[in-house]
Chains A and B, each alone.
Chain A
């Protein structure tokens, strides 16, 4: 499993390695990073999942980027040149500046890999995949309602430019937007649309809806979508079917939120701290994966 994304650290170089947890921080290649919104929340949730399953920790490719695109370009370019030798079974792309030409080159490089990795995208990498016209070749996207409106809008090049009517109705019209996203080539093979209802979609068909427990405060907490994507990545690495990986991840995220008893001011790290207990108590019954 390889997770690639930027972190909000000015001038942090490109780093690559297995992630370890040390206290409240994550350590990669000698760098200590906090579990905050974005790539590191995703990595933290993936690590919590692999720990529970007894799998090796995720490999991560990170670079500092505070919006200039410098770190994003390093990540894209490194993956383009090295993806065959890295040979991940699952490749998850996360916070990166959406650079269409580099995403197209990366997709071309990934298609040459044998076996081809499971391709997962969220955040800016998902925006890039849609804008580059390669969304249907990805295995799973994890958009929220505003992002499914973006995937459904064939003209939009970024969620800031979606049609006003699509945004205004997005939260009530997710199933319809899912259909549009598939019809317009904006969707991956599988979708997990995160929201008040989590929709799991395979090849355009909604195969599961998860509504409980309902914890409205979770929407406020930066990183609670990233955690879902991190768990999906880890469960895909454990060779679960993607729709099952998505369903379990959505359930676990909600259960972790409920256990944390959050307010809108809660941090994502407090949610992630609950994942080990959630897995211990529920994963066996949810999935048949029963660890000691």
Chain B
């Protein structure tokens, strides 16, 4: 039953709208080029007129699935210049608050809904907790057991806002490990 259904389903891809975000550009040309780049990379996106309060650049914006913000930014960077990515409602910037909890031999960094834990003596990542996006269990397998300085960056390998939060936790952990930030 599953296999026959799967074949049919792959031919007729489901609707994909999630909570939406807008990529804002300086020029119409950049917006149109970005649409081509993202569609070629498999993203669902469409050109729209940004609402008046979000009209920072040109009169054309690209509507995307906001949860994929991390992957969209990575795909556009170096190819098309854009001013920023913003949710269609609510806070305009992702949360940037990290909380640090110290255990006897480990340090836990919380960033949004994500937590990263490393061994204070070795700098090895020992656990990742929290989050709900499907790239987080994948990033768990990639990061846990690796050294902070050698770990792949979630912003490079993940795709979602959970990955962005995890990247911020990793960044803070690196600061602590290098002695730049107080722990």
Chain A residues proximal to chain B, CB less than 8 Å? 6-8, 13-16, 36-40, 65-69, 71-74, 76-78, 81-82, 95-102, 105, 122-128, 131, 144, 146-147, 150, 153, 155-164, 167-168, 216-217, 219-225, 263-266
Contacts and interface: CB of A to CB of B under 8 A. Distances in A.
Nearest to A61: B2
B15 to A, nearest CB: 4
Q: Identify whether the interface residues of B are mostly helix, strand, loop, or mixed.
A: mixed
A13 B9 CA distance: 12
Contacts of A158: 19, 66-67, 161
Contacts of B91: 155-156, 161-164
B112 A159 contact: yes
A265 to B, nearest CB: 4
Contacts of A127: 67, 132
Given A98-B19, A124-B133, A76 B105 contact: no
B159 interface: yes
A131 B19 contact: yes
Nearest to A5: B134
Interface string B97-130: 1000101011010101101010100000011111
Given A69-B68, A101-B15, A222-B127, A160 B158 contact: no
Interface in B122-146: 126-138, 140-141, 144
B62 to A, nearest CB: 17
A82 B17 CA distance: 21
B60 interface: no
A135 to B, nearest CB: 14
Nearest to B163: A67
Given A37-B136, A161-B161, 10 more contacts: A15-B2, A40-B137, A69-B134, A74-B6, A78-B5, A105-B15, A122-B132, A157-B66, A160-B95, A264-B106
B134 A66 contact: yes
B137 A36 contact: yes
Contacts of A216: 103
B31 to A, nearest CB: 22
Given A157-B87, A158-B161, A217 B103 contact: yes
The CB with the most chain B CB atoms within 10 A, among A36, A147, A160, is that of A160
Contacts of B42: 68
